[in-house]
Amino acid sequence: MLAKCDACGLGFEREPGFYLGSIYVNYGMTSILTTAAYVVLWLGFDVAPRSLLFGLTPFCVVFPMFFFRYARAMWLALDCRLDPATFRDDVTSSR
Provide, rounded to whole angstroms, the least separation between the CB of residue 88 and Zn ion.
13
The H or E element spanning position 52 is: helix 49-82
**Could you give the CA distance from residue 52 to residue 42 in angstroms, rounded to a whole number?**
8
Provide, rounded to whole angstroms, the least separation between the CB of residue 37 and Zn ion.
33
Which residue has the closest beta carbon to Zn ion?
Answer: 5
List of residues contacting Zn ion (CB under 5 A): 5, 7-8, 10
Whichever of 29 and 73 has its CB closer to Zn ion, that residue is 73
Instruction: Give CA separation, 84 vs 7, 43, 50, 91, 93, in Å.
Output: 18, 43, 47, 11, 14
Whichever of 37 and 79 has its CB closer to Zn ion, that residue is 79
